[in-house]
Amino acid sequence: MLREVTATRYVAPLHSGGSVPGVVEADDLGTYVVKFTGSAQGRKALVAEVIVGELARALGLRVPELVLAHFDPRLGAHEPHQEVRDLLDASPGTNLGMDLLPGARDYTPEVAARFPVDAREAGRIVWLDALTVNVDRTVHSSNLMVWPTLGTVPPRLWLIDHGAALVFHHRWDASEPAKAYDFRHHALGHAAPDVRAADAELAPRVTEDLLRSVTARVPDAWLQDEPGFAGPGELREAYAGYLLARARASASWLPDGFPSREELAAEEARRTDRTRQQRPDWLKQVPDLHGKPSAERDWSAHLG
- Are 142 and 231 in a shared domain? yes
pLDDT of residue 151: 73
Task: Compute the chain's Rg from CA coordinates.
Answer: 20
Q: How far is CA 25 from the centre of its chain?
A: 21
Residue 38: closest CA among 238, 302, 221, 236: 221
3-class state of residue 223 by DSSP:
helix
- Are 168 and 196 in a shared domain? yes
- Are 7 and 129 in a shared domain? no
- Are 130 and 217 in a shared domain? yes
Is 287 a member of any domain? Answer: no
Is 261 a member of any domain? Answer: no
Q: What is this structure's pTM?
A: 0.88
pLDDT of residue 301: 44
Q: What are phi and psi of 12, to 5 degrees?
A: -170, 155
HSE toward the beta carbon, residue 109, CA cutoff 13 A: 17
Q: How far is CA 294 from the centre of its chain?
A: 16
pLDDT of residue 293: 42
- Are 155 and 89 in a shared domain? no
pLDDT of residue 19: 85
Number of domains the chain contains: 2
3-class state of residue 11 by DSSP:
strand
- Are 92 and 109 in a shared domain? no
Residue ranges of E strands in the chain: 3-13, 22-26, 31-35, 66-71, 93-99, 105-106, 144-147, 156-159
Q: Tell which of 232, 252, 272 closes a domain.
A: 252
pLDDT of residue 303: 45
Distance CA 262, CA 60 (A): 31
- Are 109 and 60 in a shared domain? no
Is 118 a member of any domain? Answer: yes
CB 218 within 8 Å of CB 49: no
pLDDT of residue 295: 41
Low-confidence ranges of the chain (pLDDT < 70): 17, 152, 174, 261, 279, 281-304
- Are 32 and 97 in a shared domain? yes
Q: How far is CA 83 from the centre of its chain?
A: 23
Distance CA 71, CA 46 (A): 15
Q: Is the bond preceding residue 148 a cis peptide, omega within 30 degrees? A: yes
- Are 109 and 234 in a shared domain? yes
- Are 64 and 126 in a shared domain? no
Identify the domain containing residue 92 by its residue range: 3-101
Most distant CA atoms of the chain, gap in Å: 62
HSE toward the beta carbon, residue 5, CA cutoff 13 A: 22
Give the model confidence (pLDDT) of 45-78 as tens digits.
999 999 999 999 999 999 999 999 999 999 999 9
